[in-house]
Structure 1
Amino acid sequence: MSYRLCISAIALSATTFVAGCTSLPSSGPASEQVEQQAALKVVNTRSASRKRPGVDYALVDISAAVLANVAQATTPTLQGSFGNRRGGVPNLPLGIGDIISVTVFESQSGGLFIPADAGSRSGNFVTMPNQTIDQSGRISIPYAGRIRVAGRTTSSVQDELQQLLANRAIEPQVVISKVASRSAQVAVLGDVNSPAKVELTEAGDRILDVISQAGGLSTPRLETYVTLQRGPRTATVLYDYLINTPAENIFMVPGDTVIVNRERRTFLAFGASGQNGRIDFEDADLTLGEALGKAGGLLDNRADPEQVLLYRVVDRNFLKQLHVDVSRYPSDQIPVVFRANLRDPSAMFMIQKFPMQDKDIVYITNSKATELIKFLDVVNSVSSTASGVSTDVVKTRDAVKDL
């Protein structure tokens, strides 16, 4: 190939690049690639392109409508998952494994339990040995037989025993007391000072109460999560959010499991920012604006302020609230790329309200001018090489003639 043809090829390559070539070295995808490969685009809350990439994700411009829903979407709640139990303190019926005490009073001596020669005494009553409610949910009472008590209140069991003993005892009155409540316990595990099973009381115990009874946290609260498992349902909240939101401090019910665990809260920053890598939150409520500040801001000589991208997996209900058709996504969790245009002055207010989430990825794309400079560097190196090659050919030809 002649030198003139080589230069023509370089010029043609330049034209090709300007038309959209993205093969130059880069720390991440170009803004055009992000937009073109989005399976779903929510630009100003309206869906657009439908092209299918390797992983179906949605491209969502950060707007007032997004801000109105994103806080709820990024903050799971215990109240929302388990309700606030409108009846207030949950009822704690007797259960299997509970140890109870049964005391029977009679109006005078000479009845079923108080002998006639009992003489002077402080009260006409007899307390039976403590009993453990067995696997069938029953206890045994002399002259009353085996009584089912599990799942019932003490007052209902007392009423039944009084009726069963009425024909034998003299005006019997029955009092049942819990000695130990093994059926009304919750387990508190993980990063607490004294993991244990905590016995619930009739006064009602909330989630912070049982954590306190387990010795409190053994980790920094800003990095500590609290998970509540109740039957097949599970919900996790940040401990700091729990103590700052009274409605989240819900009542415990028997069988609950509370797991406290520390998890380093971080986000990743890539692209044309002052600092790349994994960055700690260090705050309970970190916003996108603050995250950009932690990452050193946007580099003036590289960044495209129109293409500040945040990668996150969100619940499909979040997109439904934006009136987006999510039928193409089979999963409840949908990958989303949120985009902020910092050339818009109002976006500065929006990024200060947009909440960050643990393990978010912030990527700032290079400006088109930066990509052009990269290309011109390549052109320069190629043209220099072409010139060097032609010189080497001449030198080789002359060397051959000298042989």
Structure 2
Amino acid sequence: MRPSGKAYLVSLTATLLALSGCSTLPHSGPDNRAIESQASVYLAAQKQEQAPYALVDLTPNVLAFFPLESRKSLSSGFGPSRKGPPALPLGVGDVVSITLFESAAGGLFIPADAGSRPGNFITLPNQTVDTRGLINVPYAGSIRAAGRLPEEIRADIEQRLADRAIEPQVVINLVQSRSSQISVLGDVNSAAKIEINPSGERVLDAISAAGGLSAPGREVYVTLQRGSTTATVPFEELLSNPRENIFLYPGDVVYVNRERRTYLAFGASGLSGRVDFDESNLTLAEALGKVGGLLDSRADAAQIFLYRLVDTATLARMGVQVEGNAGKAGGQYPVIFRLNLRKPDGLFLAQKFAMHDKDILYVSNSDSTEVTKFLAVVNSVTSGVAGPATDAALIRSAERTLR
């Protein structure tokens, strides 16, 4: 007697389960049963063992706790440096050359019997501004140099020598600047300390002097540190917005950092794998677009999940209390955000929710997709054995059973 459709389905399912363990079927490698049975030690997961996490539906109220990053700027944070190059006073460690002129021979520095000469001047040996900020000039004494412009020092020396030399004139040349330097570090081809040109050095000039970038520009961030003030901008922002390419000041530190920001995409999306941000501010809507959106034949638009570690302080402000060790101050707690694109405002929420580095995006399959998978397996086994009529009856029976 021919079994009923439901009984046939049960029998067929049992047969499929039996065949799945048959060693005669082809395998690409050891299956889970072989691995478990031959393990010398097996620590099985207990029923109660499960990583804790919080599930948060993405709503307008939740967006307030995860705003898009504000646009970072150098031009708005360092004041005068965006107007022009800095004045460069002398500082400790600078090496200077001093030349003294007199209008006639027979003065303080040029003896009367000096004879024919192209000019009445002498050049003193090079001097280094000492740790007290001083240099020494014969008959003028110790001169404060640190923090003063060469023109100020020149006038001071001329005034001190006015009653001893014949109409003295002074020329000061900077031989080596050690106080007016900037440092360029990080992902450049040749990290270095660079002397600031009197005409001014901008941020891109300093990076160029250090050999340029050693990483792709779209993944690079540039940090400028001046005293206690620090600001960071994407490298591409320096290129696209000339206002951000500001002048540098002595003592500035330029740090170039490659930061490859990526997220992982899995499930019923058009593309699975690791995806680069490319942009400095990437939203959830843009992240879905970069992976090809949702697969119409598989995805459940109401079940889009984003996995992220969130600091407990933010969760506390949201009213989510985390207990135990995971809730310690400064810690991070696993959170799954759920986006429902079946709601009319779903795309607006996705457009305002910022992606973070190392986020995991998962698009769930719809329930009908799982039914279709099962029926495809059943149909592949029964086709050619029971015939089309039996297949049709079996499919109807499977649908009633899975309901």
Superposition TM-score, scaled by structure 2 size:
0.64
Deviation at 1:312, TM superposition (A): 8.0
Aligned AA (1:193): N
The equivalent position to 2:300 in structure 1, one of 293, 298, 303, is 303
Q: In the TM superposition, what are the counterparts of 1:2-401 in structure 2 within 5 Å?
A: 34-35=55-56, 43-44=59-60, 59-60=62-63, 70=68, 72=70, 75-83=71-79, 85=81, 87-269=83-265, 273-282=269-278, 286-300=282-296, 301-305=298-302, 309=306, 311=308, 342-343=341-342, 348=347, 356-364=355-363
Distance apart, 1:196 and its partner CA: 1.4
Distance verdict in 2 for CA 1:370–1:186, change over 3 Å: farther
Separation of aligned partners in 1, 2:149 and 2:310: 46
Aligned length: 316
Q: Which runs of 5+ in 1 are unaligned?
A: 1-23, 46-58, 319-323, 374-403
| 8 A Cα contact 2:81 2:248, kept in partner | no
Going from structure 1 to structure 2, the CA distance change for 1:356 and 1:124 (only over 3 Å counts) comes to farther
Deviation at residue 299 of structure 1 after TM alignment: 4.3
3-state SS of 1:157 partner: helix
Residue 382 (structure 1) aligns with? none
> Shift in Å at residue 260 of structure 1?
2.0
Distance 1:366 1:97, change over 3 A: same
Aligned-partner Cα distance in 2 for 1:87–1:255: 18
**Contact (CA 8 Å) 1:61, 1:340: kept in 2 or not?**
no
Q: 1:365 to 1:250 in 2, by over 3 A?
A: farther
Residues 29 and 364 from structure 1, CA distance in 2 versus in 1: closer, same or farther, beyond 3 angstroms?
farther
How many percent identity over aligned positions? Answer: 54
Q: Which amino acid aligns with 1:303?
A: D
Could you tell me whether the CA contact under 8 Å between 2:306 and 2:359 is conserved in 1? no
Instruction: Describe the SS at the equivalent of 1:151.
Output: coil
Cα distance, 1:29 vs structure 2:
9.8
1:71 Cα offset (Å): 5.2
Question: Partners of 1:80 and 1:109 in 2: how far apart?
Answer: 57
Counterpart Cα distance in 2 of 1:82 and 1:345: 44
In the alignment, the residues of structure 2 paired with residue 304 and residue 371 of structure 1 have an alpha-carbon distance, to the nearest angstrom, of 13
Render the CA deviation track for 1:225-258: whole Å, top value 9, x for unaligned.
2222323343332222221121221211112222
Structure 2 segments unaligned to the other structure (5+ residues): 1-46, 320-328, 372-403
Contact 2:90–2:147 under 8 Å retained in 1: yes
**What is the CA–CA distance in structure 1 between the aligned matches of 2:370 and 2:64, rounded to whole Å?**
26
Measured after TM superposition, the shift of residue 182 of structure 1 is: 0.9
Matches of 1:271 and 1:191 in 2, distance apart? 35
Q: What CA RMSD, in Å, does the superposition of the two structures yield over aligned residues?
A: 4.3
TM-aligned CA deviation for residue 355 of structure 1: 6.3
Whether the aligned pair in 2 keeps the contact of 1:61 and 1:338 (CA below 8 Å) is: no
CA distance in 2, matches of 1:259, 1:290: 29
Post-superposition offset of 1:309: 4.8
Q: Cα gap change, 1:195/1:168 in structure 2, threshold over 3 Å: closer, same or farther?
A: same
* Distance (whole Å) between structure 1 residues aligned to residue 338 and residue 85 of structure 2: 45
1:268-290 per-residue CA deviation (whole Å, 9 max, x = no partner) reads: 33565444553223566755433
Once the two structures are TM-superposed, the CA of residue 199 in structure 1 deviates from its matched residue by: 0.6
Distance (whole Å) between structure 2 residues aligned to residue 61 and residue 365 of structure 1: 26
Q: Retained in 2: the 8 A contact 1:100–1:176?
A: yes
Structure 1 residues 188 and 336, CA gap change in structure 2 (3 angstroms) = farther
Pick closer, same or farther for the CA change 1:88–1:335 going to 2, 3 Å. Answer: farther
Residues 52 and 334 of structure 2 are in contact (CA less than 8 Å); yes or no, is this contact kept in structure 1?
no
Query: Any idea what SS the aligned residue of 1:210 has?
Result: helix
Superposed CA offset, 1:78-129 (max 9, x none): 3344345365212211011111111112222211112222334332222111
Q: Does the 8 A contact of 1:298 with 1:305 survive in 2?
A: no
Q: 1:89 to 1:81 in 2, by over 3 A?
A: same
Deviation of 1:353 (Å)? 7.6
User: C-alpha separation between the residues in 1 aligned to 2:301 and 2:176?
Assistant: 66
